[in-house]
């Protein structure tokens, strides 16, 4: 079945610097790649997503890139702020209405 | 903005007891899901439900689990005889047909003692 690998598991960056989280997926038929931010004890919150027909998408300080050939996708956060500290999950879906397959998560620490 | 709701927020139960976790999906949504997250781990798919039947289930979703949509609004997950390893956060999600984004509820923390 579909598998999503995510790294690093933990990432510490200085406030104001950039953070990059990388994921790979196994099923080349995957079509949709959401990213979630999860704060302690809360639900996963969708922060950005990308579909398979797009190579890059940006929303203010957050951007996502997708390389379908290599089956890689990445999250980039620029000008990091303390409130960016959280666990981030990448995920993949084959089709609309399909189950979400999550990566193992990256705990991001923003250092003052 | 409509939201998925879940009750209770926290449930403590003894091993071997039955629990029912409740969800109210967004009213015009057609597809419903349960996910589980053991503390400190990733979110894992349990089951999807469409048109009053299970459309897919994972290996985790064994005979101890069942789902039901008893009326037009509620969507429930039942664990018949809880085990210690069932302790986790359980998230319900729903989506309207033809789109990708699933809406998650706030979760129910299940603690089995």
Which pLDDT belongs to residue A24?
97
C-alpha separations of A4 from A30, A60, B44 in Å: 11, 26, 12
Mean pLDDT, chain B, whole residue set:
95
pLDDT tens readout for residues B32-75: 999 999 999 999 999 999 999 999 999 999 999 999 998 878 99
Q: Is A43 within 8 Å of B105 when comparing Cβ atoms? A: yes
Nearest-Cα distance to chain B for A14, in Å, is 24
Residue A1 has pLDDT above 80, yes or no: no
- Residue A52: what pLDDT? 87
A70 in contact with B, Cβ within 8 Å = no
For residue B4, count CB atoms less than 10 angstroms from its CB and return exposed for 0-12, middle for 13-18, buried for 19 or more: buried
For residues A98 and B55, what is the distance between their CA atoms, to the nearest angstrom?
10
pLDDT computed for residue B23 by the predictor: 98
Does A35 lie at the interface with B, CB-CB under 8 angstroms? no
Which of A43, A96, A101 has its CB closest to that of B45? A101
Give the distance, in angstroms, between the CA of residue B72 and the centroid of all CA atoms in the same chain.
Answer: 16
What phi, psi does B86 have (nearest 5°)?
Answer: -80, -10
What does the pLDDT read at residue A72? 96
pLDDT tens-digit profile of A20-54?
A: 999 999 999 999 999 999 999 999 999 999 998 88
Neighbours of B49 (CB within 10 A): 22
Euclidean distance between CA atoms B104 and B3, whole angstroms: 8
Q: What is the pLDDT of residues A46-103, one digit of tens each?
A: 999 999 888 999 999 999 999 999 999 999 999 999 999 999 999 999 888 899 999 9
The chain B residue lying nearest A3, using CA atoms, is: B44
Q: Report the pLDDT value the prediction gives residue A95, as an integer from 0 to 100.
A: 84
Query: Do the chains contact at B42 and A100, CB–CB below 8 Å?
Result: no
pLDDT score at A2: 85
- B71 upstream amide cis, omega within 30 of 0: no
CA distance B44 to chain A (A): 7
Name the band, by pLDDT with cuts 50, 70 and 90, for residue A3. Answer: very high
Best of B34, B43, B91, B103 to substitute, by most chain A Cβ atoms within 10 angstroms, is B43
Q: Considering only CB atoms, which chain A residues are within 8 Å of B101? A: 34, 46, 49
Predicted local confidence at residue B35, as pLDDT: 98
Q: Is the peptide bond before A70 cis (omega within 30 degrees of 0)?
A: no
Q: Report CB contact under 8 Å: B100, A46.
A: no
């Amino acid at each position: 079945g579909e598998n999503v690998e995510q790294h690093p598991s933990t990432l510490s960056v200085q406030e104001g610097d950039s953070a990059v989280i990388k994921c790979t997926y196994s099923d080349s038929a995957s079509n949709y790649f959401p990213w979630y931010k999860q704060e302690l004890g809360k639900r996963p919150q969708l922060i950005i997503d990308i579909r398979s027909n797009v190579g890059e998408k940006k929303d203010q300080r957050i951007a996502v890139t997708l390389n379908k050939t290599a089956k890689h996708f990445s999250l980039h956060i620029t000008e990091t702020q303390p409130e960016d500290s959280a666990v981030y999950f990448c995920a993949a879906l084959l089709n609309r209405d399909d189950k979400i397959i999550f990566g193992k998560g990256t705990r991001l620490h923003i250092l003052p | 903005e409509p939201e998925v709701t879940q009750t209770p927020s926290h449930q403590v139960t003894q091993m071997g007891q039955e629990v029912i976790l409740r969800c109210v999906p967004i009213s015009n949504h057609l597809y419903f899901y349960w996910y589980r997250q053991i503390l400190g781990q990733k979110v894992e798919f349990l089951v999807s439900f469409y048109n009053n039947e299970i459309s897919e289930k994972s290996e985790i979703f064994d005979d101890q689990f069942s789902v039901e949509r008893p009326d037009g609004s509620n969507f429930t997950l039942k664990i018949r005889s809880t085990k210690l390893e069932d302790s986790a956060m359980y998230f319900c999600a729903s989506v309207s047909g033809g789109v990708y984004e699933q809406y998650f509820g706030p979760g129910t923390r299940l603690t089995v003692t």
